[in-house]
Structure 1
Amino acid sequence: MKKIINEFKTSGGKHCITNALKQVFEYYNYPLTEEMIFGIGSGLSFVYINLSTSPMVSGRTKPFDFEKKLAERLHIKIKCNSSSTYQTAFDKTLKLLDDDKPVLVYADMPYLDYLNLDEDSHFGGHAVVIWGYDHETEKFYISDRDNSDYAIRTPNGPISQDYHLVDYKQVELARNSNHRPFPANNKYLDIQFNEYTQVSPHIILSAIQETCDTMLNAPAQLLGVNGIHKFSKEILKWSKFDEEKIKMAGITNYFMIHADGGTGGGIFRRMYGDFLIQASSIVQSEEMKELGITYIAISEKWDRVADFMWKLSETADIQLLQQMSNMIKDIHAEKTAVLTSLQHIEL
């Protein structure tokens, strides 16, 4: 037996969850850009995480915190379901597909062979859309971030396929994984649009106010603009790492900042800048548009930090740490000023 949802259109994108949601929204005739989805869900954040294997930064809110906010603001239902056994998840997926409902699932990335990742680089918060199956070949039809007109970088080179045919066994390993961080645990999203509310100036300003508040008034020194300042100091301590750890820190944070890691560029700051520009026409605020342009300029500075991280991963040159520290200090000052201006915009 074979089932494909022919009306589902695959498309490439900048960030896994926003791209997956964009495709599902489009399928149900509620089109929104990735940037608008990201901004309305107050997806922008910052945290410095001091893990034993490698310190790392993250520029977005926790998986599913963002989805909850998006659902609240648009008055839709996004329920994160999971199954204790993969067979239950498998059967539910087939049922949804048979009912012409594409399934947004979470998967542990190294088990998806087309991503060409190291077997130990576990991340179960990766979102893809399953939109068909073929029992004869035992393969699922999966849409990821790449597309024929949108290449993404993998360790073995770029990939740009409209969809991937993935063995049932691979999908089982990816979905059933309990590896940290963010174990996949057979999670999938059930999205209902019955009470969908069109994007309004009030929705946009509410989302922006929350982002400004969480960034400017973070409850811990490792979060928000405090975290960026902390990062500028902590990175100098990396000089004490052995060569292997400092190279790992370089490559890890390159992918956490650069567009190659699915951030859209500049640790999600470019996406947020584009959101502000798009939102400015709804709010009718020229100031918001200008701040969006400034945000994109800040994202370009983050990209330069990412370039240094790549060099660090290749050379382990600790002289790069001071240069990055100085750049991050500048970013902290600029970002604080932009957020302060942004939180005062009103209708």
Structure 2
Amino acid sequence: MRVLLVTHEAMLRHDTGPWHPERSERLAAVIRGVQAGHLEVVGIDSPMIDPVALRTVHRPDYIEMVRRTSTEGRVELDPDTPAGPGSWEAALRAAGSGPAAVEQLRAGSADVAFLAIRPPGHHALADRAMGFCLFNNIAITARMLADEGERVAIVDWDIHHGNATQDAFLMDPSVLYVSLHQFPFYPGTGWVEEVGIGPGAGTTVNISVPVHTAGDLYSEAFARAVIPILEQFEPDWILVSAGYDGHREDPIAEASLLERDYQMMASAVRAAVPNRRLIFFLEGGYNLAAMERSVTATIAGIAGEAVPSSVRLQSPDGAWRILDLLMKAQRPYWQL
């Protein structure tokens, strides 16, 4: 089995400053994590997307504003999201990585793709930057595939809710959005009762868990909801917002995931989609060592390998109530 690794050194030149958690060293950690897995790695450079293609998700005036940063010094596009002279090319290459991976997988160059990209994307709204994100990389690829008539499922396991990805497909029944995230937490969206609007009702699935939630609850959520919903939706493609900030060693959140939990989730999504139709998009993750190990565990999950661990963490008793609320919210749309 071969994994397509898509990245580019230009993304290192997206300068967020010396103290920002979303820093260039993250890419090296992710690349090491992919290469440490037991799959053959096929590498390609991320191409720059045509800026016109960004308009499927983003407003032209916002795209132009980001472009102008390439002629200025570092600017703050929002309180968490700096950009500078290297950010335009980095963002175009991050957004271009998904369509390039689709092309390579369709051609049979690899069996699965992992995109080591930055800036991340799932908070980038149609008209503004947010939460370290400039363009919504995964939404751009999902929109392209949906416009081609493909059924697309997005599974977002970053510890932050992908508010902008949800917004992009809230009324679209051809794109399923499933998010597991800490709540309440930044950006403040993604409560379990947010299920989509109009024709998109039921194609938004939010599993909003409290602090210190561990892999035991994630495993149960996959077994009772995520896997059955994916099986009933029957996606042609699964795109994963692969954030690793839910690891218990990550400095940003207060979750209790371990490497084997990422292995479990990767294995589950791999089994739910045809071969050569699975792409992982890097989102968050700010402890470099934990992220590297978790990416390797993701590759193990794809390969059908176990990740042994003697550590057993338990979710708080109150966390389990969210599964009852989830079932109540989603049963009108799915057989659960």
Fold in common (TM above 0.5):
no
> What is the TM-score with the length of structure 1 in the denominator?
0.30
> What is the TM-score with the length of structure 2 in the denominator?
0.31
> Higher helix fraction: Structure 1 or Structure 2?
1
